[in-house]
Structure formats: structure tokens, C-alpha cells
Amino acid sequence: MSCSLRFDRGHTDDLMAFLMASPSPYHAVATAAERLENAGFRQVEETAAWDGTSGGKYVLRGGAIVAWYVPEGAAAHTPYRIVGAHTDSPNLRVKPLPDTGAYGWRQVAVEIYGGTLLNTWLDRDLGLAGRISLRDGTHRLVNIDRPLLRVPQLAVHLDRSSNDGLKLDRQKHMQPIWGLGDVEEGDLIRFVAEEAGVGAEDVTGWDLMPHPVEPPAYLGRDRELLAGPRMDNLISVHSATAALAAVAGQPDAELPYIPVMAAFDHEENGSQSDTGADGPLLGTVLERSVFARGGTYEDRARAFAGTVCLSSDTGHALHPNYAERHDPTHHPVVNGGPILKVNVNMRYATDGSGRAVFAAACQKAGVPWQTFVSNNSMPCGTTIGPITAARHGIQTVDIGVAILSMHSARELCGADDPYLLANAMTAFLAD
């Protein structure tokens, strides 16, 4: 069957809106949930008893979301088709005691999150977003989306060697300024609480992070490129949300699998959290869905044995200024379609069988695809793919979109690739 997303640049325009609405993992899952709600999905609470009814459902936990669609009459042992992604990006995170400064400058104490390209955060106008935790146990999303913070770079006059190799101290050089005057304890949180419309005395915890306020933009003579923040890995989250909503709109009789979208937090620092891919969230949701439909452990085992997961994350496009850093025979290019990510040491989970599954989905969708392999002399990164495969015993295939400037505060991709990725995901979920 065909459930391709309608192609025009509107899909990429929508991605740009998604990026702007998602300055933190908490905003990303809230934005995805709102879109799924509009497609007929409903939230289920983890603390409530689940029923075996059909339809679209989702679970929110912190910066993670797992959503699935149960077709009418699906057996308890029906396998899943999963698209996995992550909601977090390398950035700066506000420390528990945020108020600092010196010499008449008020600053915010931050910690470095993930493998951030530090220099890309210099001299950039930054807002502040995330969530605050209130005394009554609830949380409130916060998005101060205007120039508020800045990490100022040292002038070249004071370091004549800066263009010969910039060396940044992660503790001393990355603390942003946000005003003038004496440091006052509690000042930042009072300001954030006022922006959120709550009393500062009610704020008992926070998970806050600066974000660039410059919006995404088309780039190039023919606008064939897209520059923007948090593409790693909100491209995948956006595409997975669109694909799941598209598949859920098809007749139930045509769905041989239960389609799932799982977007985890904390991939950039190892995935070891209750909202990370190395936690129990995905397995718990899938098992509860089996049992809610009257299944047994045998049904659960059968369902998992027939399940396949696409782990979708960004990968490296061939960089024209550093071609020697890439494998000499594998040259992914932007706007060339999604990439299949391969590493025989299982830093990516793809094997030959998984390649066949992905190739079939792309062929069905009419989407071109490419292969990424790291240069043997360079260490290879990893994804949620191997974690998902090992933790749940699920066949997993690593894919993604090829980009430049990965882990920069502002990354670059082909403007057509997000649409191509979403179509491949849609064909995979619908089989």
C-alpha cells in the first residue's frame, strides 16, 4: 500500500517550526505529543491500568516519548515496527547553583552536556528553556526565546594565537553573561519563575539550558540546504512523528505490524537514565501493550522475535574541506536520501539482514538511499541502535540523515533529506 507523505517544501518548513518549538527535550516531546493528539492519539499514564483497546496511544516521561498504534483486532503476539530516535542535543546546562559572576558582570554557571563543539556557542545570542519543578510535584515548561545570554569570546588583540588553534577551558571560558551588577543568589530562578508566571518560592527544581535564538533558515543559491539548531536529532523525531501519524491514518486491515515511535533522552551522554534508550521504558511499554491485549509471556516473546527497529540518528555527510577524514569509497552527500550506517564492530546495529529491510522500505517509498562507513583510522560514534538491539533482543538497523557540522550549535543538512527520511520511515512502519 502507499502512504507516502505529500512532497513539497512544506515538510521542511514544518521541520523548521518543530525545531523552533523544541528548544529542549521536554519541549520536543510536548510538541510531538500535540501533533499525535491532533492525529487521534491519546496519552496513557504509566501509573494507570492499561486496556487492550485499539487506536493510537503514547506515554510521556520527562524528555522521552513512546507512541504506538494498535490496529483493530491485532493479536497479542503481533510484532512491532519501531522507529527510534533521541530528543537531546549537545549543549550547555544550567548548574544547581546558577548565579555567578565577577568584576561587575552577572553570569550563569553552566555545565557542558555531551560532545559539544564549544566554539560554536561563542558570541551567539542565547535564550533559556527547559522545565521547572514546582512544590506541588508538577512541572512547567519554560521558553525564554529572546536574546538573554552570551558567551563572549576573547578579542584577538588579547590572544594573538587564537587563529592558530583556539583552546577553550570548559570551566573558565564557557560561562555566559546575562547582565551587569552584583551577583545575587536566587536571581536567575526568580527571573525564570516570573517568566513562567509562578512564584519563585514554589520552584524547587529546574532542568534549564541555553539555546540559540536564531531561527532555522534555507541556505544556498537555490535554497537547497537547511541550517538550524538541534538537527541532531530532532530531524529524526520530527520525521518519526509525521510517519507514525501518517500510518495511523491508514485502514487497520492493511497494517500487519503495530507501528511505534520511541524518542529517548540522554543519548548524547550514554543513554543510561530512566528516559534513555538503555533504560526500561521501551521494553515496559511494549510488554504492557501485549499484556493489555490479553497476551502471555509467550505472546510477548513471539512479538519481540518478529520486531524490527530503525534507529534513526544523523550521520556525517562528506565534508568538502576535510575529505581525507572520510572513508575513501563511501561518500554520503546531502539531498542524496537517508543513509544506512554500518560498523562491523557494532557501534551501529546494522547487519546484512537489516540492510535488506531498509532497502525494501526505501524501494517501496521510491526513496534513494546511501551507505555510511567510518574511515578505519577514525573512531566511530554510536547510537541508540546497539543499545536497543542488546537490551530488548530486537533486530535493529541504524539509519539517518547526512549532515555537516554535527554537534555544532547550528548544523547543516540538505533541505530535501528530512522529507525523504520521513517517507522511508512511513513505508517501513506500514510494511
* pLDDT for the residue numbered 311: 98
Angle, helices 281-292/384-392, rounded to nearest 10 degrees: 50
DSSP letter for each residue of 269-322: GTS-STTSTTSSHHHHHHHHHHHHTT--HHHHHHHHHT-EEEEE--EEPPPTT-
Q: What is the mean pLDDT of the chain?
A: 96
Angle, helices 417-430/10-21, rounded to nearest 10 degrees: 90
Distance CA 84, CA 309 (A): 7
Compute how many other C-beta atoms are within 10 angstroms of the C-beta atom of residue 54.
Answer: 14
pLDDT exceeds cutoff 90 at 431: no
* pLDDT for the residue numbered 162: 86
Average pLDDT over every residue of 347-368: 97
* pLDDT for the residue numbered 254: 85
Looking at the chain, the whole-number percentage of residues with pLDDT higher than 70 is: 98
Distance CA 82, CA 394 (A): 10
Backbone angles phi, psi at 28, to 5 degrees: -60, -45
Distance CA 373, CA 393 (A): 24
The dihedral built from the CA positions of residue 153, 156, 157 and 162, taken in this order, carries a sign that is: positive
Backbone angles phi, psi at 408, to 5 degrees: -75, 160
Tell me the pLDDT tens digit for each residue of 214-249. Answer: 999 999 999 999 999 999 999 999 999 999 999 998
Which three cell numbers, joined as nine digits, stand for 341?
550506517
What pTM did the predictor assign? 0.96
